[in-house]
Amino acid sequence: MARDDISRGQADRLRGLDEAARVAKTFEILAGEGSLWVWGDEDEILFTEDGERRTLLPVWPYAAVARLENAGEVDGEHAVRIPVDAFLTEWLPQLEEDDALIAIFPVEDRIAAKLTLAEFRARMTAALRLN
């Protein structure tokens, strides 16, 4: 069962990790919790673009860190929980049609890693096997 109850201190510690550590920790948490978090509202999920105008889907390991990154931006937007298995089987094929990349655990416009869908799938599959 996914949890949304990490403390502000825990969230700040995760946000303070360097990029490589945020990537490693993200996959560890996603495998352990069985879900990931994106940002959106009742109708849409928030995508962003990088400097090369590639479509990015930001993902976070906990709702708390997603909220810290997006707080106060638009009324009605919130962290949206997606089970990892649904993300792999349903979301990745759709994201492929959109030619999107996965932005791992952005903090203040610093993305820990931009992964292709194949890279994300491989890393997530490996993390699930270890769990």
Q: Facing residues of 61 across strands? A: none
Per-residue b or e along 51-78, where b marks 16 or more CB atoms closer than 10 Å to that residue's CB: eeeeebbbbbbbbbbbbbbbeeeeeebb
- What one-letter code names the amino acid at 27? F
Domain membership flag for residue 3: no
Q: Domain count of the chain?
A: 1
In terms of DSSP bridges, do strands 55-59 and 101-104 run parallel, antiparallel, or are they unpaired? parallel
Q: List the CATH number of the domain containing 108.
A: 3.40.1350.90
Distances (CA, A) of 89 to 10, 61, 83, 95, 99: 30, 19, 10, 11, 16
Domain that holds residue 103: 8-130
Domain membership flag for residue 1: no
pLDDT recorded at residue 5: 67
Tell me the pLDDT tens digit for each residue of 5-21. Answer: 699 999 999 999 999 99
Closest CA to 27 of 57, 56, 55, 60: 60
CA distance 15 to 12: 5
pTM: 0.92
Tell me the pLDDT tens digit for each residue of 26-82. Answer: 999 999 999 999 999 888 999 999 999 999 999 999 999 999 998 766 778 999 999
pLDDT recorded at residue 109: 84
